[in-house]
Structure 1
Amino acid sequence: MMGCRNRSVSCLKFVALIFLGLFVSVGCAGLKKGPKGAQPPLVQVAPGEEGYPVFTDDMDFQGLEDALVQSLAYYSRMPESRTFAFGEDRYSLRTMVRSAVALLYAIQDDPSPETLSRFIRKNYHVYRSTGQDGEGAVLFTGYYEAELFGHTERTDRYRYPVLTRPDDLVTIDISTFPGVKVEGKRHLIGRVTTSRKVVPYYARNEVGDGSTLLDRTEPLAWVDNAVDLFFLEIQGSGVINMDDGSEMRVHYQTKNGHPYRSIGRYLIREGELTKEEVSMQSIRRWLEENPDRRQEVFNYNPSMVFFKEETKGPIGCYNVPVTPQRSIATQKRLFPACGVAFITTEKPSEIRGGEVTSWKPFGRFVMNQDTGGAIKGPGRVDLFTGHGDEAEMTAGHMKQPGELYFLVLKPSVR
């Protein structure tokens, strides 16, 4: 599939036909109603209604093609019976495939915003996130592929271990235990004690920089900066530039089971930073200027992430590579996996002295291909900004308002 990156129309049509062929045996792309209850995370909006967007895209379509093909790869692994929730409505797997394929075809000739918007209005149902306030308000943040410097062995410079899953960490699927329910959870993570009891796994304050776990796991690498390593855990993936000139890509494998807590919030509570000035860059500066309090701040977040080595770039929670500026992370159970989405928010328009001084609005088609521990509720979206200084700058400062929409092909469209 990677051959499609040269925007070969015949290649993309070939891919599309393959995916359509995989699902010709699936029943008609019908719509089913889900259970009614509290306000759903998505509500349908029609052209002309308040909240219906103008479908403009601020980028060329190369990255969107890549992201669409990755979503199709995910759907090819799903059972034919799989359905996807759009608020109170449910759509078949075949409808999700056709929704992605139709958009893939539509963008081949670089349509004008007016042409593409007409195509969407005619062929797609549009659902709007109810947001944080029930009225569609969504907060957008960004995440990026972190960059670190490392070595295969511990040295005076490279002292901080990038850990893989410890051998005493166990994951329990509680859904397999009759009559056992934990609200909002399917899995529990812990360890087995010498008295054969399962207890929570070690929190960050119990293991420090992770060195105390070295008898239970092998480090993938040793890096030279504790702050970089902490932010690697938050981002979930990164590139380690090794001392011998090679690169190692690492990706989230599992975590210790403790909840994520924002150290930015802790620094605000302690009076070290104000809410207005908190960004990844300001937090990084504070940590570097206050090394004696660094571990105290780190320990406020009891969650720890363990990594695995990957040959490809960042992988989303649905086991497909995420695409810079075209993949978003949302709360997994609320929105359709790998679905076609459209966002409106703001991006940096001017950067001075390492700070974003102004923002400008934009609209963009994206794919819902990831999730994150801090991304909760219908009013939160994380945009993957890519790799490098600009990606880090954008992700570190992004706390912008916006709106989130999901698109699904109308069942009547053939």
Structure 2
Amino acid sequence: MTVGHITRILSALLIISTIFFAGCSQSPPPTESVDPVIEQPEGERFIKLSDSEADTVIQTLTIGKQGMQSWMDFAPALERSALYVSKKPQSKLALNKYGLKVTWKTLAAAIKRMQLLLPKLDANPELLAKNFTFYRLDADPQFTGYYEPALQASLTKKPGYAYPLYAKPSDLQVLNLGDIHPRWKGQRAIYRIDSGKAVPYYDRNAIDLKGALGSRGLEIAWAKDPLDIFFLQIQGSGRLLLEDGSTTHILYDGKNGRPYVSLGGVMLRKGLLPKDGVSMQAIRKYFDDNPEDTYKLLGTNPSYVFFRLSDSGPYGAMGQTLTPRVSLATDPSFIPLGSMFLFDVPMPEKDEKGAFKYGDNMKGLGLAQDTGGAIKKHHLDLFSGYGEDATWIAGHMNADGAVWLLLPK
């Protein structure tokens, strides 16, 4: 691609108001110190706990609610975080927020210390307070949930399986804007070329209603229900339940760059859902009762996700498999990928009639191992796993909780 071609593409991108720019906060220049540096600005901040305050947090941990029988059960998930953090530039800052500056070397040291402590924590959980400084995120973090959905599907089109799942198209282009000018470092433009000009990639309506990707051989599977595909795109990965009883993983492989619009929010504003009943289950019931509204409502979210098939999964943003009730998606500029924290959040449960309620809190060890387009600032997304219970929990979780970042003393 010539310089002139790149310039024309960039100029076109900048004047198209609907183009999607995906950016992230940039790390500041490298620092010589590997120890956390904390200041205390006014307002939202990380608050350093005293040892006695940390002990109080530890006394109420409930790792059993995370499906863990022992602290040693965290070892595989910790090893995945350790692999990711070890490959980062150790002297550079992983976190620089609210006066707290932490290098990748410090995060690596935190994980290593936790790995060494695991065999002792069942008998002596107080070792956490002796070995780690707790920094509470003073912002009432919001917790939602996501899961690994299952779809009835076929690898070939046949009666009953009419809705395609697409591989990433070859004409979907991604331009790293930092290659053009340093002021755009970390930002990307997603587009296609039409008659020599850069234009936004096809939106949901163009793909699902107008067949923009038809006859290109991009179909990797066919599903029974278009709403299943929509929910799969929101979750990012899942499993296909094939007719012969076998399963295969289907994983995120790119998106069209269009902005994400919440279907639940649209339905709420239209009065199609009760204000206190916005959940995945309520959305599905509405579509079951009103199938004629399917594409009209799904089309309000122009974002579209492409997939690939795999023998394993699901994978998070670190490129590592996720652990149910341990892995969380975070905004890396507030809680970096690979970091460890304790968290406390009320868990969705069913009452004696099967209705939703919030039950006892789950308080345990969380690992930042994923990201998400809707996960910004103090919003965390808990991976609940696979199966009916995981689906139900993810569909109902939306509550404020607490987070304590763990850094080595």
TM-score by length of 1: 0.82
Distance 2:306 2:382 in 1: 22
Contact 1:332 1:371 in 2 (8 A): yes
Q: Name the counterpart of 2:404.
A: 405
Contact 1:86 1:335 in 2 (8 A): no
Assess, with a 3 A threshold, how the Cα gap between structure 1 residues 227 and 351 changes in structure 2: closer, same or farther.
farther
Structure 1 residue 212 corresponds to structure 2 residue 212: yes
- 1:47 aligned to which of 47, 51, 57: 51
Q: Name the counterpart of 1:13.
A: none
Structure 2 unmatched runs, 5+: 1-30
Contact 2:34 2:91 in 1 (8 A): no
Kindly provide the CA deviation profile for residues 181-221 of structure 1, in whole angstroms up to 9, marking residues without a partner as x.
39xx6111111112x11111111122226843134451221
Assess, with a 3 A threshold, how the Cα gap between structure 1 residues 36 and 138 changes in structure 2: closer, same or farther.
closer
- 1:83 aligned to which of 74, 93, 96: 93
- 1:141 aligned to which of 136, 139, 144: 144
Distance 1:333 1:220 in 2: 35
Contact 1:348 1:394 in 2 (8 A): yes
Q: Name the counterpart of 1:230.
A: 230
Contact 1:29 1:95 in 2 (8 A): no
Q: Name the counterpart of 2:81.
A: 71
Deviation at 1:94, TM superposition (A): 3.0
Assess, with a 3 A threshold, how the Cα gap between structure 1 residues 242 and 82 changes in structure 2: closer, same or farther.
farther
Distance 2:319 2:289 in 1: 38
Distance 1:258 1:128 in 2: 35
Q: Name the counterpart of 1:192.
A: 193
Distance 2:112 2:316 in 1: 20
Contact 1:168 1:216 in 2 (8 A): no
Q: Name the counterpart of 1:391.
A: 390
Amino acid at match of 1:143: Y
Amino acid at match of 1:366: G
Contact 2:173 2:192 in 1 (8 A): yes
Amino acid at match of 2:122: P
Distance 2:130 2:86 in 1: 27
Assess, with a 3 A threshold, how the Cα gap between structure 1 residues 288 and 354 changes in structure 2: closer, same or farther.
farther
Q: 1:344-355 counterparts in 2 under 5 A? A: 344-351=344-351, 355=355
- 2:62 aligned to which of 53, 57, 60: 57
Assess, with a 3 A threshold, how the Cα gap between structure 1 residues 349 and 151 changes in structure 2: closer, same or farther.
closer
Assess, with a 3 A threshold, how the Cα gap between structure 1 residues 36 and 48 changes in structure 2: closer, same or farther.
closer
Structure 1 unmatched runs, 5+: 1-26, 132-136
Deviation at 1:237, TM superposition (A): 0.6
Structure 1 residue 167 corresponds to structure 2 residue 166: no
Assess, with a 3 A threshold, how the Cα gap between structure 1 residues 62 and 314 changes in structure 2: closer, same or farther.
farther
Deviation at 1:51, TM superposition (A): 12
Contact 1:191 1:201 in 2 (8 A): yes
Kindly provide the CA deviation profile for residues 356-396 of structure 1, in whole angstroms up to 9, marking residues without a partner as x.
23421221101000111221122x11100000000001111
Distance 1:310 1:108 in 2: 34
- 1:106 aligned to which of 110, 117, 129: 117
Deviates more, 1:317-326 or 1:82-91: 82-91
Amino acid at match of 1:189: I
Contact 1:191 1:200 in 2 (8 A): yes
Q: Name the counterpart of 2:363.
A: 363
Structure 1 residue 122 corresponds to structure 2 residue 130: yes
Distance 1:75 1:250 in 2: 26
Contact 1:158 1:223 in 2 (8 A): yes
Between the aligned residues of both structures, percent identity stands at: 29
Contact 2:96 2:333 in 1 (8 A): no
Assess, with a 3 A threshold, how the Cα gap between structure 1 residues 72 and 180 changes in structure 2: closer, same or farther.
closer
SS in 1 for 2:344: strand
Distance 1:98 1:179 in 2: 32
How many residues align? The count is: 372
Q: Aligned Cα RMSD in Å?
A: 2.7
Distance 2:116 2:40 in 1: 35
SS in 2 for 1:220: strand
Q: 1:255-334 counterparts in 2 under 5 A? A: 255-334=255-334
Contact 1:96 1:339 in 2 (8 A): yes
Assess, with a 3 A threshold, how the Cα gap between structure 1 residues 353 and 205 changes in structure 2: closer, same or farther.
farther
TM-score by length of 2: 0.83
Distance 2:135 2:256 in 1: 35
Assess, with a 3 A threshold, how the Cα gap between structure 1 residues 245 and 29 changes in structure 2: closer, same or farther.
farther
Kindly provide the CA deviation profile for residues 49-78 of structure 1, in whole angstroms up to 9, marking residues without a partner as x.
699734513322354222101101212332
Deviation at 1:248, TM superposition (A): 1.6
Distance 1:42 1:157 in 2: 53
Contact 2:149 2:386 in 1 (8 A): yes
